[in-house]
Amino acid sequence: DMKKSLLILVCLMLSLTGVAQERKFSPEKFEADLEAFITKEAKLNESEAAKFFPLFREMHQKQRSIYMKMRNYGKEKPATADACAAAIRNRDKLNMELSQLEQTYHKKMMQVVSPSKVYDAIRAESNFHRQMMKGWQMPRPNGWQMPRGGMQRPRGKRP
């Protein structure tokens, strides 16, 4: 009957909307999950976390501004060889700024928690990002795999 079909359709649409909202990226949730993961992996107690994470967030905020500048150099290829060389020099300069920024903040972090815990936090952040990227991998066509060398078709099968 029509009412029943309409009700089923509405319920289906609401459930699909709920699934889509769950999959939507939330920077706040990502940050909270990252900090929880680092806290656990680096075994930071409450006091250490309270000293460590303000520096960690500050470093990330400054890194983001450098990444934004770097992204501008990748948008369009400059028209001349001289402009390409200048863009490369500017990108290299930004990479050095990024390294110096990390070095500065790592020193600050080691003043508030032990170097061992800073080391563990750096590794934990890297592992967290790696795990998140694995979760975001795009689905591949049937039979396709992503080995270390890139996407390859299974042997003996032709699409």
Condensed to tens digits (0 to 9), the pLDDT of residues 132-150 reads 877 665 555 555 454 544 4
Q: How confident is the model at residue 11 (pLDDT cuts 50, 70, 90)?
A: low
- In the chain the first and final C-alpha atoms are separated, in Å, by 43
Q: Which of 103, 136, 113 is nearest to 54 (CA)?
A: 113
CA separation, residue 111 to residues 42, 78, 120 (Å): 16, 43, 15
**Is the pTM above the cut of 0.85?**
no
Q: What is the pLDDT of residues 65-118, one digit of tens each?
A: 998 888 877 778 889 999 999 989 999 999 999 999 999 999 999 999 999 999
Chain mean pLDDT for the chain? 80
For residues 96 and 67, give the distance between their C-alpha atoms in angstroms, rounded to a whole number.
12
More confident residue, 37 or 72: 37
More confident residue, 19 or 1: 1
CA separation, residue 115 to residues 62, 70, 98, 106 (Å): 22, 30, 20, 9
For residues 95 and 63, give the distance between their C-alpha atoms in angstroms, rounded to a whole number.
10
